Structure 1
Amino acid sequence: MAEQRILINPQKIKSRKGYHFVKRTLDIVLSSIGLICLSPLMAVIAYKIKREDQGPVFYKQVRVGKNGRQFEMYKFRSMIINADQLLDKLKGQNEVEGAMFKMKHDPRITNIGHYLREHSLDELPQLVNVLKGDMSLVGPRPPLPSEVEQYTDYDRQRLYAIPGCTGLWQATKRNDVGFDDMVKLDLEYIRHASLSYDLWIIWKTVIIIFKPNGSY
């Protein structure tokens, strides 16, 4: 039971104004550069998605951000059009415990979707979320509202930080760990967040694009 203690003081996080200012500046600069430099790649991805399945290229989903604020998160669509409607039928095959759904051989994922997910390319449109301020380049994975409803007070500490396109969990263990370990990694990041830590996670994420670490 000791593991369920509230370990993070949110006031201490708020007091780090200098770090948050520089982090936001870095988010704006790097996401702007990323959108410009990666626009040819994103155009190719959009063409590949349309060529395989004549549905929308982008996928919008409501996620929960810092302090419980909800926002629309953008991704390249990697699943069939009616994927959300089929989720209830698949929940019994969830391969992770806790408030998160993961299935390695999810039948809803398209052929191009498998490749995008393996190399984390489906996340590229989230650079727009970063520019808008909904997300940061680095932070905890933004959960679904239905996942947050299952959170304990310990789990809710993840919402003390702005969610990120990537984070300590994504850049290290990814799908090799379950929900509880993901929470531990996210809280470890929140407690020790710094610019050098952020840059290290970004670098690890770039490596993952070329050498996937178990994403699906």
Structure 2
Amino acid sequence: MKKISLGIKRAFDIVSSGILIVLLTPVWIGTSIAIKKDSEGPVFFKQGRRTKDGEVFQMYKFRSMVVNAEKMGAGLFNYENDPRVTKVGRKLRDSSLDELPQLFNIFKGDMSVVGPRPCVTYELGDFDTLNKKYKKRFQVKAGLTGLAQIKGRNDISWDEKVTYDNEYVDMFNKYGFLADIKIGIESVFKAFKHEKIYENKSDENMNDEEAAKAEEAEIIRLAHLPDID
């Protein structure tokens, strides 16, 4: 039963992403022109991310920040009014259009339409020593959207996201592709609401850089806590 569900899931990924890649040709062209006119740098942003079994792949996005933004300020975190975000980039993020190039990742097989959002290669610390809770989410392919995104997106903590990601793994094992259909439909409605786009600081008294460092350390700590059997 699981093999059938995985087959249906992959077939849906190929067909849906392929159709959208073609239909969105005007969006590729228009967005590319807007990005190039707005700021210096490439149209697309590529970053190493982890998918099923921790495998690393290059994930694509429309560039929404200045070049080398990852090495500036809040690093991987994006708080409200982040100065690294370009004018066009802010509109892309608000509408989630910056994520569209991941359709190519889905077509290639790096990702699926539904699954846990792919983390940056070093975001959780050493992959091999992750505890069971944080490693479970890697039993399935990373996704463009997932249960954590419809439950809270960036408004919830990493630990809560992992809990929802693991819940999705259980849902897929039990209900198969039906779980993907439910999450996919809810994701469409969420995307139009433009809610919970930015991450919350654990301490509002900290500046962006301080808050990001504190949050990064806490995520890695939780990801490597001893397993409780």
TM-score, with length taken from structure 1 = 0.83
Distance 2:85 2:59 in 1: 18
Structure 2 residue aligned with 1:44:
30
Distance 1:28 1:212 in 2: 27
Q: Report the equivalent of 2:105.
A: 129
Partner of 1:169: 148
Structure 1 residue 115: Cα displacement: 1.4
Find out whether 1:21 has 2:10 as its counterpart. no
Whether contact under 8 Å (2:6, 2:177) holds in the other structure is: no
Q: Which amino acid aligns with 2:190?
A: I
Secondary structure of 2:92's counterpart equals: helix
Aligned length: 192
Residue 212 of structure 1 pairs with residue 198 of structure 2 = no
Higher mean alpha-carbon deviation, 126-135 vs 193-202, is at 193-202
Q: How far apart, CA to CA, are the structure 2 residues paired with 1:204 and 1:53?
A: 34
Report if aligned partners of 1:66, 1:162 keep a CA contact under 8 Å in 2.
yes
| Amino acid of the structure 2 residue aligned with 1:83 | A
Indicate the RMSD between aligned Cα atoms, in angstroms.
1.7
Shift of 1:38: 1.4
Query: In the alignment, which residue of structure 1 is the partner of 2:53?
Result: 67
Unaligned stretches of 5+ in structure 1? Answer: 1-14, 92-99
Q: Provide the residue aligned with 2:224 in structure 1.
A: none
Instruction: Give the percent of matched residue pairs that are identical in Structure 1 and Structure 2.
Output: 41
> Bigger shift: 199-208 or 105-114?
199-208
Partner secondary structure for residue 122 of structure 2: helix
**Aligned twin of 1:103:** 79
Q: Scaled by the length of structure 2, what TM-score is found?
A: 0.79
CA contact (8 A) 1:140 1:166 kept: yes
Alpha-carbon contact 1:65-1:135 (below 8 Å) kept: yes
For 2:125, the aligned partner's letter is E
- Rate the CA distance shift 1:105–1:156 in 2: closer, same or farther, 3 A: farther
The correspondence for 1:183, drawn from 159, 162, 167, is: 162
1:102 Cα deviation after fit: 4.1
How far apart are the structure 2 equivalents of 1:213 and 1:42?
24
Unpaired runs of at least 5, structure 2: 199-229
* 2:63 counterpart of 1:77: yes
Counterpart amino acid of 2:187? T
For residue 13 of structure 2, what is the amino acid of its counterpart? D
Aligned to 1:12: none
Tell me the CA shift for residue 84 of structure 1.
Answer: 1.9
Q: Give the CA deviation at 1:112.
A: 1.3
- CA displacement, residues 58-104 of structure 1 (integer Å, 9 cap, x when unaligned): 00000011101111000000100120221xx436xxxxxxxx73423
Distance (whole Å) between structure 1 residues aligned to residue 83 and residue 165 of structure 2 = 29
C-alpha separation between the residues in 2 aligned to 1:38 and 1:32?
A: 10
Say if 2:155 and 2:196, in contact at 8 Å, map to a contact too: yes
Report if aligned partners of 1:174, 1:215 keep a CA contact under 8 Å in 2.
yes
158-167 or 147-156, which deviates more: 147-156
Q: Is the 8 A contact 1:66 1:159 kept in 2?
A: yes
Asked if the contact 1:118–1:214 (Cα under 8 Å) also holds between the matched residues in 2, the reply is: no
